[in-house]
Chains A and B, each alone.
Chain A
Amino acid sequence: MTGADRPILELDEVSAAYGPYRALFGVSFSVGRGTVVALLGPNGAGKSTVARVASGLVPASSGSVRVDGRDVAGEPAWRIARLGLAHVPEGRGVFDSLSVEENLVLSFRRLGGRGQVSASLEQAYERFPLLKERRQDRAGTLSGGQQRLLSLAKVLVAPPKVLLADELSLGLAPGVVDDVYAGLADVRRKGTALVVVEQQVDRALALASSAVVLERGAVVYFGPPSGARAAVEQVVDRRARGRRHPASS
C-alpha cells in the first residue's frame, strides 16, 4: 500500500479495560485520509473508549492501533499526538485555570517560535472574534459552547492529520451545535480526517463518509452511512427488549 491511500487511523481487533471492567472486545475499523467516520452507538457502547484508545489515554489490552501506518500500541499519548492525531475529549477539552490565550498558545507553541505563535493567534481570533474579546479570561469562565469553539480554534489553525471529536454537541443549544458543525466542516476542508463520536445520529451521518456502530464494546456495523441508521435502530430495539448481543457474551 502506498503512503497516499494508506488509512490514517486503523484499529485492529482492539480490546481495552478499566481495571477489572472490560470495555472493548475486538474492535476493528479504519479511517481513510481526509474522510469522516461517524462513531455511533447508545450510552456505554464504548464510543469514548475507542477514542481514548486511539489517542493513547487508555492502553489497549490487545490488538493494534496504527496511526499513519505506524503501530502506536503502548505509546504514550503525547507521542501519538505528535504523529498528528488530535483528540477533543468529551465534556471539557480546555484548561479551566489557564486564560483563553494561554490555551491557544499551549497548542501553537509546537508549530514554531514566537512569530509563528502570534500569527496563529491572529488567525484564530479572526475566525472566532469572540475568543479575542475574552482572551484574558480564564477558559473555565467560558460557556460550554464557547469552550468547544476554543477547542476547534486550536485544530483549525494547526490542522492535525486526524481529529477525534468526542460528543462535541453534547449539552449545547441547537444554534451553537450548528456553529460547532460548521467548524468541523472547515476542519475537514483543510484535509483533516475526522472521527465524530455522536449521539445525534442525523447530524453525524450528514457529515460522514462511513459509519461505525458499536454495541456493548463491539462493532456491529462498519460501512457506508446509508446502512448505519438501520443498524442503530436495531441496537436500540435490542436494548429495549433487554436482549444481550452475542458479541459480548
Chain B
Amino acid sequence: MEQLLGFAVPGVPYGCAYAVFAVGLVLTYQTTGVFNVGYGAQAYVSAFVFAWLVEDHAWPVWAAFVCAVVIVGPGLGLALDRFLFRRIPSSNTTAKIVTGLSLLVGIPALLPVVFGNQNLVGAPSIVFNPDTVYFHLGADVPVNGIYLSAVLLTVVMLVVLVLLLRTTRLGLEMRAAVESPRLLELEGVNARRVTATAWAVCGLMAGLAGVLLAPTEVTVQAQDYVTLMVAAIAAAAIAALRSMPVAAVVAVLIGVVSLTAQGYLPTSSFWYSAALPAFPFLVLVGALLFVPGLRHLDEAKDPLSSVDPPPPPPAARARRREVDRLVRTGFFVLLFAFVASMLTWMPPTWETVMNQGMAYSVVFLSVTLLTGTAGQLSLAQATLAGIAAFTAGQLAHHLGLDFLLGGALGAVAASLVAGLLAIASLRLRGLGLALMTLAAALLFDVAIFPAQAVSGGTGGITLKPGWLPLNLFAPNGHAYFLVVLLVLVLCTGGVALVQRGTVGRFLTAMRGSELGAAGVGVNLPWQRVLAFTLSGALAGMGGALLAIQQTVIAPGEFNYQLSLAFVVIVVTTGVGTVEGAIQAGIGLVVVQQLMQYAPQRLQGLTFVLFALGALAYAAHPEGIVELEKRRWTERAERVLTRRRRAPATPAVTGRP
C-alpha cells in the first residue's frame, strides 16, 4: 500500500496539469464552439511573459502575474476572437481546426522572434513554495508545494467554471451563442460581445494555467505545454467535450495511472519504453472509438446558417477560355525553363533545395487529395511518409533491396496503414477524424518510430550509397532531380486525373454533403477508405524521396508537428488544386533557404509565415495564393475583354 501510494501520489500534479488543460479545452468548446488546440500555446505565452518579466526585468512577482495572467491572457483571447475565430463560419470545422493548429505551430515559433531566444529557468511559484514539504501522506510520502498548487488550481478552476457555465446569465448566453449567434441576437443579446467575453475568460484560464504550471518544470519551454495538451485532449475526448468534471477526473487518472505503472514496470521492458508513453493516446483512440458523443461533434446546428452568402467558386473553374489558355501556356514555358535551369546553371545548393521542394510537393499532394478533394482532415501525413521511409530503409538494410523499389513497397505499407486508419475511424467525421489521425501520429511518434527495430534508435538509419542505383547520391549529378521530377509529374497527373474522374466526383460529393452523397448512391465508407489509401501511397512516395535527399532517416524527421505544419502549409497555398501542393512544396523550401541568409533570431519565422497564411484560410478557404490567382485572373480577363469588345455587363440573377 505504502509503495502504491509512493508511486501514485507523484502522478497527481501531472494529472492536475492535464486536468487544467482538459477543462480549458472543454470550456473553450462549450463557450465558443472551437476545439482550440492552440490553448496550450496560449498558456505558454502567459508563462513565457511571466518568467521573462520576473527573470529578465526583475519585476515583482505580483506585477508580473497581473501583466501575464490578467492582461496578456484575456488580451490574447480577445485578439484570437477579433482577428481569427470571429471570421470563421461556425459550420466550417476544418477552418476552425486548422486555425487552432496554426496557433499551436505558430505561437511558439513567434515568441523567440519577438523576444529573442530566451532560456527562462525556474519560474517562481505563486501560492505555495515548490520545494517546501508541507506534510506527509501515510508514513513517508512527502507532499510539497507543487502538489498543493496543482490540486488547488484544478479544484478552484473547476468549481468556478462549472458555476459560471451552469448558473449564470453569461454562461447561458455563451452556450446559446455557440449554437446560433444569430438566434441569440434575436433575443436582444449582443452575441459578438458574449463570444468575445467567452474568449477572454478562456484566455484568462489559459494564462492562469500557464503561470501556475510553469514552476513544475525546470525551464519554461513550449514543448512542455504542447505535450500537456496531448494528454488533455484524451481526457477532454472521454468527457465528449461536454462535462468539465469528467474531463478533470479522467485527466488526473491518466496522470496517476501513468506514474504508478512507471513505478511498477521494469525499466527495460517493452511496456515501459513503448506502451507507457503511448498510454494517453490509447485512451484517446478508445474514447474516439467508444464514446458515442464524439460521433456527432460539430454537426452544423445553426438554424440561421442559410443567412450566409454561398462561397465563391475556385479560380481555375471561373477562368475564361482565353485566360485559361494563356495560363496553361505560361505554365509549360515555366516548367521547361525550370527543368533547363536545373540541368544547366542552377547552383548545387539551390538544386538541392528545389529537389527537396519537389519531394515535399509529392507528400503535399496527399493533403490535396484527402483534404482538398475528399474533405477529410488528416493530421498523420508526415507519419505516413515516415512509415514508407523506414520500410524502405529496413528493407535496404536487411535485404539489400534497392531503395527506390523499397520506397515503392514502403508507399504500399503507408497506404495500408492509412486504409486501416480510415476503417478504424469510419464512424467519425470532422473533428473526431482529425483527432483520430492525430492520435495515430502520436502513437507512431512515441511508441513505434523510436523502436530499435524500426529506426535503429534515435540516430536513425543512415543511407548507404550501395543501396541506390544510378549514382543518385552524387552531389553534382542530376539523376536524383530527374527521378523526383518524374515521380512528381506522374503523381500530379494522377491526382489531377482522379480529381476529374468518377472517383473525384464521388469524393467532391462526399466533401459537399455526406448525406447528399449517400442519397445518390455514393458508398461513403469505401470512398473514404479509398481516399485515405491513395493519399497514404502519395505521402509514402514523398517520404521515401525525402529520405533519399536527407540521407538519414531519423524518428524526429517525421513527427506529428510536421504533420500539423504540412496541413497548415498546404491549406495556405491552396488545398483544392494540384498547383497548390507544388506551390506549397517549393514555397516551403525556398522560404526556409532564404531564411538561412536572415539573422539568427528570425530563423523561426518560416512557420510563422505559413501560420499567418493559414489564418487567412478563415476568410478564404481556397487558400491565399489561390485567392490572389483569382484576382489576377479577373484582372487579366478585364484587360482581354476590353481589347476585344465593349465590356459585357455581369449577369445579375435573382435567387431561386
Contacts and interface: CB of A to CB of B under 8 A. Distances in A.
A58 B307 contact: yes
B190 A78 contact: yes
Given A44-B655, A96-B301, A110-B188, A21 B310 contact: yes
A216 B186 contact: no
A109 B655 CA distance: 38
B56 interface: no
Interface in A45-83: 46, 52, 55-58, 76-78, 81-82
Interface in A93-120: 93-98, 102, 105-107, 109-110
A93 B303 contact: yes
A106 B172 contact: yes
Nearest to A58: B307
Contacts of B307: 18, 52, 57-58
B363 to A, nearest CB: 35
B247 to A, nearest CB: 18
Contacts of B183: 89, 93-95
Given A18-B309, A93-B303, A217 B173 contact: no
B186 A20 contact: no
Q: Which of B183, B185, B655, B656 has the most chain A CB atoms inside 10 A of its CB?
A: B655
A55 B188 CA distance: 11
A155 B654 CA distance: 34
A74 to B, nearest CB: 14
Contacts of B173: 106
Contact of A86 (B169, B186, B312): B186
A18 B655 CA distance: 8
17 contacts: A18-B307, A19-B312, A21-B310, A21-B653, A52-B307, A55-B186, A57-B307, A77-B182, A81-B185, A81-B186, A89-B186, A95-B175, A95-B180, A97-B301, A106-B176, A109-B169, A110-B189
B654 A87 contact: no
A94 B189 CA distance: 15
Contacts of B131: none
Interface of B: 169, 172-173, 175-176, 178-180, 182-192, 301, 303-304, 307-310, 312, 652-656
Given A21-B310, A21-B653, A77 B185 contact: yes
B172 A102 contact: yes
Given A57-B304, A89-B303, A105-B172, A18 B179 contact: no
A227 interface: no
A46 B656 CA distance: 10
A42 B654 CA distance: 14
Contact of B310 (A19, A52, A87): A19
A23 interface: yes
A216 B186 CA distance: 26
A190 to B, nearest CB: 18
Given A20-B309, A57-B304, A106-B172, A96 B179 contact: yes
Contacts of B303: 89, 91-93
A82 B655 contact: no
A23 B655 contact: yes
Nearest to B176: A95
B172 A21 contact: no
B163 to A, nearest CB: 16
B187 A44 contact: no
Contacts, number: 98
A238 interface: no
A23 B175 CA distance: 32
A109 B170 CA distance: 11
B89 to A, nearest CB: 13
Given A58-B307, A95-B180, A98-B172, A22 B652 contact: yes
A248 interface: yes
Interface residues of A, number: 39
Question: Shortest 7 CB-CB distances between A and B: which pairs?
Answer: A19-B309, A77-B185, A81-B188, A92-B303, A78-B185, A18-B309, A21-B655
A44 B656 contact: yes
Nearest to A18: B309
A52 B185 CA distance: 12
A204 B178 CA distance: 34
Contact of A21 (B176, B187, B188, B309): B309
B188 A78 contact: yes
B562 to A, nearest CB: 37
Given A77-B182, A98-B179, A217 B188 contact: no
Nearest to A83: B188
A107 B179 CA distance: 16
A110 B188 CA distance: 8
Contacts of B180: 95
A112 to B, nearest CB: 12
Given A20-B309, A58-B307, A248-B654, A107 B175 contact: no
A161 to B, nearest CB: 12
Nearest to B177: A95
Contacts of B653: 21-22
Contacts of A216: 654
A22 B179 contact: no
A94 B655 CA distance: 27
Nearest to A77: B185
Contacts of A56: 185
A89 B304 contact: yes
Nearest to A216: B654
Contact of A97 (B179, B304, B656): B179
Contacts of A97: 175, 178-179, 301
Contacts of B176: 95, 98, 106
B217 to A, nearest CB: 38
Contacts of A109: 169, 172
Nearest to A164: B186
Given A23-B655, A96-B179, 20 more contacts: A18-B308, A18-B655, A20-B309, A21-B654, A44-B655, A52-B307, A57-B182, A78-B184, A78-B186, A78-B189, A81-B188, A82-B188, A92-B303, A95-B179, A95-B183, A97-B179, A98-B176, A102-B172, A106-B176, A217-B655
A77 B655 contact: no
Contacts of B188: 78, 81-82, 110
A57 B186 CA distance: 8
A12 to B, nearest CB: 21
